[in-house]
């Protein structure tokens, strides 16, 4: 589904991604873990089409077609969704109006009928329940005065409304208490589908315990240095990333503690 090959990207003169490759098949959940400043958020923004990043080389394809020349909105219309670590507020525009505008922008771009107000409201109410979001928030301006938890629920609610092919969750767990985390994870799990895949970016094990990713990658210094299964999450929780950084520095093959080289 999503295929990233040898991606190199800078912010200004500073290289952030230094040859990152990643393959994500339909129906799978991938997790990316890594130390601060490894390039996790950069990866998500480059995939979503943020223009502040200077892509030097490499390619990203969605279903075999390169998306590198597409604008952020064209990528979104093709079914790439990113749940923001810091969702923005838009004063004066209700959540309902914003989400319906987004849903219909994507539908129109794909030659589909717009969703009418009645269907929208019915669907929205049902999917807000999936993420435990208070339906009163529909009539409040988007993210204005929302708590950290409400903003994150709102991101996953929008994911549920937009039904993307591929969703990146950028640190969706930050700012969520344990109960909220479980509800949000339940919401994501409801969205799992053989045709849809997820890339979950996180520092912590907790969210992944609920989401049970199929594949876990370790991102260090702009590259995927190791890929394993769900068990890798516990190794990283226990040992951190120091071992990987050390092995790279010594020019050794990257191998987590306890795993066979």
Closest CA to 241 of 214, 215, 216, 212: 216
Which of residues 50 and 234 has its CB atom nearest to other proteins in the complex?
50
Hey, which residues between 143 and 202 contact other proteins (CB under 8 A)?
158, 162
Q: Which of 50, 192, 206, 234 binds other proteins (CB under 8 A)?
A: 50
- Give Cα separations from 110 to 73, 103, 148, 159, 167 (angstroms): 12, 11, 33, 17, 18
Which of residues 82 and 225 has its CB atom nearest to other proteins in the complex?
82
Using CB under 8 A, which of the segments 34-42, 70-78, 123-131, 186-194 binds other proteins?
70-78
Which of residues 45 and 223 has its CB atom nearest to other proteins in the complex?
45
Which of residues 99 and 207 has its CB atom nearest to other proteins in the complex?
99
What is d(CA 158, CA 147) in angstroms, rounded to the nearest whole number?
A: 17
Hey, which residues between 10 and 49 contact other proteins (CB under 8 A)?
48-49
Instruction: Extract long-range pairs of 235-238: CB within 8 Å, 24+ residues apart.
Output: 235/259, 236/33, 236/205, 237/204, 237/205
Closest CA to 209 of 178, 175, 240: 178
What is d(CA 58, CA 7) in angstroms, rounded to the nearest whole number?
A: 4
Q: Which of 102, 115, 121, 191 binds other proteins (CB under 8 A)?
A: 102
Q: Which residues bind other proteins (CB under 8 A)?
A: 48-52, 71-73, 76-77, 81-82, 84, 86-88, 90-93, 98, 101-102, 105-106, 109, 141, 158, 162
């Amino acid at each position: 589904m999503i295929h990233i090959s040898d991606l190199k990207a800078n912010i200004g003169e500073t290289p952030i991604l230094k040859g990152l490759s990643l393959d994500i098949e339909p129906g799978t959940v991938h997790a990316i873990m890594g130390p601060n400043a490894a390039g996790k958020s950069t990866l998500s923004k480059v995939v979503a089409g943020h223009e502040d990043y200077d892509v030097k080389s490499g390619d990203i394809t969605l279903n075999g077609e390169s998306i590198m020349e597409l604008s952020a909105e064209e990528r979104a219309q093709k079914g790439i969704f990113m749940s923001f670590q810091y969702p923005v507020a838009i004063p004066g525009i209700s959540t309902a109006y914003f989400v319906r505008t987004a849903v219909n922008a994507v539908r129109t771009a794909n030659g589909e009928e717009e969703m009418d107000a009645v269907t929208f409201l019915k669907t929205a109410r049902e999917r807000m329940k999936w993420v435990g979001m208070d339906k009163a928030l529909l009539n409040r301006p988007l993210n204005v005065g929302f708590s950290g938890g409400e903003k994150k629920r709102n991101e996953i609610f929008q994911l549920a409304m937009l039904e993307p092919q591929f969703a990146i969750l950028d640190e969706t767990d930050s700012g969520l208490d344990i109960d909220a985390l479980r509800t949000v994870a339940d919401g994501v799990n409801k969205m799992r589908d053989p045709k849809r895949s997820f890339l979950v970016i996180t520092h912590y094990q907790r969210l992944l315990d609920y989401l049970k990713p199929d594949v876990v990658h370790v991102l260090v210094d702009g590259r995927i240095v190791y890929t394993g299964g769900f068990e890798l999450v516990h190794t990283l929780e226990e040992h951190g990333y120091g071992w990987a950084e050390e092995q790279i520095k010594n020019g050794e093959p990257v191998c987590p503690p306890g795993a066979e080289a």
